[in-house]
Each structure stands twice: as structure tokens, then as C-alpha cells.
Structure 1
Amino acid sequence: MSERTTSSSWALGIVQALEMGGVDCRAIFPELGLNYSDLENPDARFAQDDMTRLWQRAVAISGNPAIGLNMAKVIRPASFHVVGYALMSSASLREGLARLVRYQRIIAEGADLSFTQTAKGYELVLAIHGDRLPPARQSAEASMAYALAFCRWISGRMIQPRQVLFQGSPPDDIEPFQQVFQAPLSFNSSHYALLFEPADMEAPLPTANHSLAQLHDRFAGEYLTRFSESRVTHQTRQVLCRLLPQGEPKRERVAQTLLVSQRTLQRRLQEEGTSFQQLLDDTRRELAEQYLQQPSLTLLEASYLLGFADPSNFFRAFRRWFGVTPSDYRAAHLQGIKADKASV
């Protein structure tokens, strides 16, 4: 399967946030087999799993599980690569965040974004995926903190979301989260999201420039065209994530959604080192790991969210993936959380 990657510009923002928290990333990079000087190379990419290991080491060294929130303090358009400038020149945050969703693969392939208007307001939904390693929750928290801080920075207003949703249990110390988001916080949610007031999203931006927005769109589009190694794999995974709660997605349905034939879809996936069935299995495995770490979700609900009509099929698949039953996996995870808290 094609390896997900993160842009050097986003990785540099993460490193700055970690160093602000007292972590010596110059020392950690060689330990992880990474080249610190690649952070200054705009075309360099870092493997998703390497970024996960970096988060894990940083939390262990700093003793601060909320260290990802430091991303709110390192605001600079370049962290979002060319996408940051496209967002700045947008007419409104609504238009800018739509651009962020369209081009976010440039920033990091391990994240899926959606931005929709609901009855409650505008919702920016984030999902972080790992490769061989489950993603660090700090990665999602950092992305949410940065997105909100960036919106505040370019709008010149102290935007306060209606609500901020987090997967996973509440942290022992909620104060850093309250300081950064300054909004109602909801944990053990089914997804990560920022829920915005419509007026905040639709107000004109002081940095708006239609001509520049068109120029940055062209730059971002050209970059995406060049950066096409795992394009079909990524797009297929996004479609699978959307369709799974409706039942097991069929190759024909996914191909139709991507506007290609089934044969073309299979050929392109093979060129990228995977297949439709393998990608479906990998996507389910990654999501299963995330769902079972959410105590609010029952095993039956997790089964249906993964597209299994028969829960027994989910249990068999889970044992094949992880060598244990879903119940045993969840119990071990909760026991690990308790052990971590006891050692702090």
C-alpha cells in the first residue's frame, strides 16, 4: 500500500510547536532515522508513521500529553504550504476552508477534511489516519488548534466556535484545551470537528484578494497534479470512509463516485501497490482501531459503522487483524490508559 506522507512545511510547524514545549527535535530526528535539514526543503515529505513516532517521543520526553496545542502559537501561512496563501486571499473563511479541504492533501495525506453547512452551523470535520501505526491524538489536536488559530489570525477576530468535538476520553487536565479553544468542549465524540457560527464563516476577510486567490488556486492545482503518487489510493480511501456507514461499499459504487470505470480503478490501484479489496480491508482495520478506543461506541455500533451487516463478520475480521476479540482489545486499551494515568 502507498505510504502516506506529510509536507515538510507542516512538519516544520509541528517541530516548532514541540521545541516550544522543551523538546529537542534535533536530537530526536536521528533517533527516528529522519533528517532535520529536510524541514527546510519545500519539496521534502515525511512518512506519516514517522510523524506518529515523533509525537510519541515528544509526549514521552515532555510529559505533556497536550503538547500538540502549541501549534496554535506557531501561526504562519507557510505551514499550510501554498494552501495557506490561498486561504488568506479567499473572500471569506467559508471560501477559505473550502479551499483547505480541496487542497489539504498537499499538507498531509494522513488527514481527511470535510466542511459542510448544517442546521447547527458550519462544521469542519477532521479524520487522521495512520499507516502501520495508529495516529497520535496529539496530531488531531494540533491540527484543530492550528486551524482555529489560523482562522482567528487572518480574520483579525477572536472567533469562538459553537462547539469543539474530540474523539477519545477527556484529558486529566482540561485547562490547556479551554485556553486554546475558548469554546464548549465535547469528548468521546464519533469524530473531531470545529463547529462555527455562520456569521464568522461568511464575514469578508481583510486579506481577501480575488486575483491572488486565482493565482494560488493555479499553484495548488499544479502541485497536486505533480504530486500524484497515491492520488487514486487516497481518493478511494476517502470515498470508502464516507460509504462504510451505509454498508459494505461495492467497487462499482466507488468507481462511479470517482467517475472512472471499475477496470480503470483497479488498474490504477494496482499501479500504486494495492487493490480495492486490500484498501477496503486496511481502511476498516484503521477505523476499527479508532472506534474501539471510543468508550461511547458499542461494539455493535462500531460493526455497523464499518459496513458489516452481520456483527459476527466484524468479530472474525477483527480477530484476523489484531489477534484478539474486539472486547479484549478494548479492555486492554482501557487498562493501558489507567496504567498511564497511574504512572504520571
Structure 2
Amino acid sequence: MRTPEAPTVAAAYANAVISNGAAPEGDAPDPAGAGDGDARGQEDADARGQEGADVRGQQGAGVRADARVYEGGAWASSAERLPFSEVRRVWDRVLGPTEQPHTGLRIGYALQPSALHVLGHLVLTCTSLAEAAAQAVRYLPLVSEAGALRLERGARRSRLVYRPSVPEGAMHPQQVEAVVAASVTAARWIAGRRWAPAAVAFTHARIGDLAPYERILRCPVSFGAERNTVTVATPELDLVRGPGDPELAALHRAHADRLLSGLAAPVTVRQRVRGWLDQAPLDRVGPEDVQEALHLSERTLRRLLREEGTCWSDLLDAARHDRARRLLASTDRTLERIAHELGLSGAPAFVRAFTRWEGTTPGSYRRGLTAP
């Protein structure tokens, strides 16, 4: 089982992004039927006009043309999870080289419950924003282990805090904006599409104009803050919004708890690098290649590997060892050719390395595999 993105959720989310590649085409979704009776006001009309502009052109076409990449396999499996690097790859395709501002914000705005899998269904059974926040805090790992939510209650104001858990710089700021905007959208499923928090804050600098942030979130928005937060008046948080369905909620919670208990431990950076090296061409690979694939800076990669008791050269050496054994066992390639495929200078260097690894020469190892 791979981590850390849930495949059903990741696939639904990625395919929604790929198919839309854009802002919503109308009002923010109100799947709970909890509209507040003023769904067609001027403010919503303005939002439809401003946020309905499709992110098309070269970026959108490229993403939609790649949609088939995210169909089938681990993306469609309910028994596997995807590494964060795969999900980040989707975002890189969606944002494109220009990294168009407000894309993540609009994706969060257009969120549908199905994109959150069982968590989305749980939120729809909640009778208050406090109850929905509690479910999100507990079950967010079913959606993503790239970050964590925490609810901080105060007498007058409370804050939902989002903290990325991946290495610094690995998560694009627009991914954070999508999470925060999605939190506001999910609250509107319960409180009505015109609901707005008291304030929203992001740790990163503003990306593009301020107006789209204020139109979508409908509250003061600040940047360069210490934490990513959605601030809500505590009485609003606790206000009961509807009768709810306790039996259905209990069924969803039981299912979510089963899924939660089956999650694998997070994959270490060492495991991610080794997994990447297993598929890489070892004759022309360097640390800069894996840094790009895992979205880590050289300094961060070196630090994380050191904290896990290893380093790039040790992992590359182990990958060469494994690759050498496979090639000796499954092919009749010469030692010189294998040496070059491993990124070694020639057959003598390969013999020295293999003898260090196995205590015997490559030729003896190969003969032993075919001995009766």
C-alpha cells in the first residue's frame, strides 16, 4: 500500500481539475440543499461572471490531453494510495509553466462532496460547522497526508488551522489555497452558499490580484501570516443548522474509521528516493533529478536523508547493487555493458563494486544462478 494520497480521492480530485481546469461555471455548489433563499443575488451574479472564466489556452489543453494518465491503475484503486509527488505532478500539469493565479482558489470553490470520498458524505450529515470541522480534523488523512487540520476554539472566535506536513517548499501555495477554499466551500454545504468566514489568512505571499480572493471567500484575506487559518465566530460555529441524520452519519463514520485504521505508515524520503531509483536510468542519474521528481531542494533532500540515517550516494549504491543482480540473473549482457547501465566506468569498476556487495565476482554469481 503506497502513501500518502488516497487514490479514490486523488483520482476524483485530479480528474475534476483536469476536466474543468477552471473556475466554476455558476454558483458555488450547494449539494446539501442548504441554500439561504438568496442564491441569485447580485453578489452571486458577480461571482459567476468573475469566477466562471475558464482557464483555457495552452495550459488547459495540455492538461485535458493528459487526462488519460490519471485513469486506471493506482488512481482507480480503492486499495492503494499514491505518493505526494504524483499528486504534485497533477498540480504542475494543471498550473502549467505560467502558474496562473487563483487556479487553486477556484478549484477549492468548485469542490463537490464526491471529491472528498467518505469525508464529503460525512460533512453532509453534520448539523453544525463545529461538527463538520471535527470530522475534517479526524478524517483528513483519508483525503491527504500532505497536511493536517486543527480546530482552535476561542470564546468569541475560533480558527481552523491548516499546516502542510510535507517538507518545506514541496507543496505549491496554490495547493494550500485549494485546501483553504475547499474548507470554506464545505462549510457552505451546511450553512448556505452565501455563508462567509470572519477572515482567512495564508502564510505565503499573495498570488495575483486580491479581488478574486475576496469574491470567492467573501471576507478579509491576509497573506504572510504565521499560519493558514479560517476564522469563524464561535457562536456561528456552534449554531445548529438542520436536523441531521444520526443513523446515516454513524454508518459513514464506521466506514471512515475502517479506512483510517487500514492506512499505511507514511512513506519515508529514503523509500521515495529508492522507489524512484528503481525505475531510473542509472547511467545518467544525479541528485538533481530526484530533487525535481520529489519537489525538494538539494538542501532539504540532503537534510531529510541525513535525519533518516542515509545519503544520496548510499541509496545510489544500493540501487546499483539491486539492478546488477537483476541484470545478471535475467540477461546475458556483458559485464562491460552492465557496468555502463549502472553508471560505472567499465567492467573492472563493476567487478570491484560487485565483489564488495556480494563477496564474489559477477561471473561467479551468474554461474551460481545456473548451477544444478
If the TM-score is normalised by the length of the shorter chain, which range does it land in?
Answer: 0.5 to 0.7
CA contact 1:89–1:208 (8 Å) conserved in 2:
yes
**Cα gap change, 1:177 to 1:17, in 2 (>3 Å):** farther
Q: Determine the structure 2 residue equivalent to 1:155.
A: 191
Aligned to 2:153: 117
Residue number in structure 2 paired with 1:321: 303
Residues 28 and 120 of structure 1, relative CA distance in 2, 3 Å threshold: farther
Q: Residue 8 of structure 1 corresponds to which residue in structure 2? A: 8
Once the two structures are superposed, the pairs formed by residues 57-136 of structure 1 within 5 Å of their partners are 57-60=93-96, 63-130=99-166, 134-136=170-172
Q: Provide the rounded CA distance (Å) in 1 between the counterparts of 2:112 and 2:152.
A: 25
Partner of 1:206: 242
Matches of 1:44 and 1:163, distance apart in 2: 37
State the alpha-carbon separation in 1 of the partners of residues 245 and 103 from structure 2.
Answer: 35
Q: Distance in 1 between matches of 2:231 and 2:13?
A: 24
Contact 2:109 2:216 in 1 (8 A): no
- The two structures have a TM-score, normalised by structure 2, of 0.56
Question: Hey, what does 1:181 align to over in structure 2?
Answer: 217
Contact 1:11 1:46 in 2 (8 A): no
For 1:188 and 1:120, how far apart are their aligned partners in 2? 24
Is 1:171 the counterpart of 2:153 in the alignment? no
User: How far has the Cα of 1:51 moved from its partner?
Assistant: 1.5
Residue type of the alignment partner of 1:136: H
Q: Find the counterpart in structure 2 of residue 264 from structure 1.
A: none
- C-alpha displacement at 1:56, in angstroms? 2.3
Letter matched to residue 106 of structure 1:
L
Contact 2:198 2:220 in 1 (8 A): yes
Larger Rg over CA atoms: 2
**CA gap 1:88/1:190 in 2 versus in 1, 3 angstroms:** same
Q: Could you tell me whether the CA contact under 8 Å between 1:7 and 1:108 is conserved in 2?
A: no
Among candidates 11, 20, 27, match of residue 65 of structure 2: 27
| Contact map agreement 1:4 1:131 (CA 8 A) in 2 | no
| TM-aligned CA distance change 1:44 to 1:179, over 3 Å | farther
- The Cα of 1:71 is off from its aligned counterpart by 2.0
Segments of structure 2 that go 5 or more residues without pairing to the other structure are 23-54, 275-298, 305-372
Instruction: Verify: 1:216 aligned to 2:252, yes or no.
Output: yes
Deviations 1:12-41 (A, max 9, x none): 2244235233324343467xxx53335554
3-state SS of paired residue (1:112): strand
* Matched-pair contact (CA < 8 Å) for 2:206–2:223: yes
Gaps of 5+ in 1: 235-269, 274-316, 323-344
Contact 1:49/1:133 (8 A) holds in 2: no
CA contact under 8 A between 1:90 and 1:208: conserved in structure 2? yes
User: What count of residue pairs does the alignment treat as equivalent?
Assistant: 238
- Which residue of structure 2 aligns with residue 139 of structure 1? 175
With over 3 angstroms needed to count, the CA separation of the structure-2 counterparts of 1:9 and 1:35, relative to structure 1, is same
Q: Which amino acid aligns with 1:134?
A: A
Distance 1:223 1:179, change over 3 A: same
